[in-house]
Amino acid sequence: MKEKSKNAAKTRREKENGEFYELAKLLPLPSAITSQLDKASIIRLTTSYLKMRAVFPEGLGDAWGQPSRAGPLDSVAKELGSHLLQTLDGFVFVVASDGKIMYISETASVHLGLSQVELTGNSIYEYIHPSDHDEMTAVLTAHQPLHHHLLQEYEIERSFFLRMKCVLAKRNAGLTCSGYKVIHCSGYLKIRQYMLDMSLYDSCYQIVGLVAVGQSLPPSAITEIKLHSNMFMFRASLDLKLIFLDSRVTELTGYEPQDLIEKTLYHHVHGCDVFHLRYAHHL
């Protein structure tokens, strides 16, 4: 009887291990990685992947659970997306409203030394400085909109700085302090709105998640910044009064440098951007 019980338990474990092995193979990760995952990691990554498919049901163009009808342009778009991710000087991440990391690109390892597998499914609060927890909570919070959106889904722009754990060697870590690295994050908070049955004008909303790009700050010793053809350089005083502009401003904006000297930058930005400029100015 005891021997039969042992055999039954062994068979059950083997079946369980086989199911976990098959589940790991379904994850969108290289087989070299999935073959090394333990059970807890497989569950964590699978849960995160399913959450991502719920947030972005179209994925890379293929609806969840529906056969793909990929055309020639679809394959080009997917390949282009892969190249963009590789050339991006930063990493892409998606965080749920509770702070769980639903997705983070492998390029995070270049900036933080932490792998995609290690970060995915865990709370972002475990990897940011304790003094930045309130900042992260504020970013993931949306107050009730003052006006009603006609769209069921919309985005709220987000731009903020976080000190994130960095385990890279000092020579590769860049600008760090006490094991943390300042990351500039920019993206949007995805909101889903529902209309209530009792009134056409009442609604409630759900925070779907934060989609952002994280980039390391340039080292403090940097003496010059490479300017591309679609950029121009200017210098301004502390009150943002322009004191110098290079000649490319004419090609890009139509203004001559002398027309802008001694003018405040606030007068030359779109009205919708004044708030963001003021926020950055007083940061």
* Average confidence score pLDDT of the chain: 83
Calculate ∠ Cα 146-150-156, nearest 5°: 55
DSSP 151-207: SSEEEEEEEEEEEEE--S-HHHH-SEETTEEEEEEEEEEEEEEEE-TT-SS-EEEEE
The pLDDT of residue 80 is 67
DSSP string covering 39-97: HHHHHHHHHHHHHHHHHSTTTTTPPTTS-----HHHHHHHHHHHHHHHH-SSEEEEE-T
Task: Check residue 78 and give its pLDDT.
Answer: 62
pLDDT bracket for residue 102 (50, 70, 90): very high
Alpha carbon 205 to chain centroid distance?
21
Count other Cβ atoms within 10 Å, centred on residue 250: 14
Terminal Cα distance for the chain, rounded: 73
Does the pLDDT at position 264 exceed 90? yes
Taking Cα atoms as reference points, which of 261, 262, 265 lies closest to residue 280? Answer: 265
The rounded percent of the chain whose pLDDT value lies above 70 is 80
Determine the average pLDDT of the residues in 186-200: 74
- On whether the CB atoms of residues 142 and 192 are closer than 8 A, the answer is no
Residue 158: its pLDDT value, please? 92
Q: Torsion over CA of 48, 51, 56 and 57, rounded to 10 degrees?
A: 120
pLDDT band at 146 (very low <50, low <70, confident <90, very high): very low
pTM for this prediction? 0.72
Mean pLDDT of the 250-258 span: 92
* pLDDT-based confidence at residue 250 (cuts at 50, 70, 90): very high
pLDDT(67) > 90:
no
Report helix, strand or coil for 110. helix
Per-residue confidence (pLDDT) for residue 63, from 0 to 100: 47
Is the model's pLDDT at 128 over the cut of 90? yes
> With b meaning 16 or more CB within 10 Å and e meaning fewer, what string describes 199-208?
eeeeeebebb
The total number of residues shown for the chain amounts to 283
Instruction: Tokens for 85, please give them.
Output: 């991710």
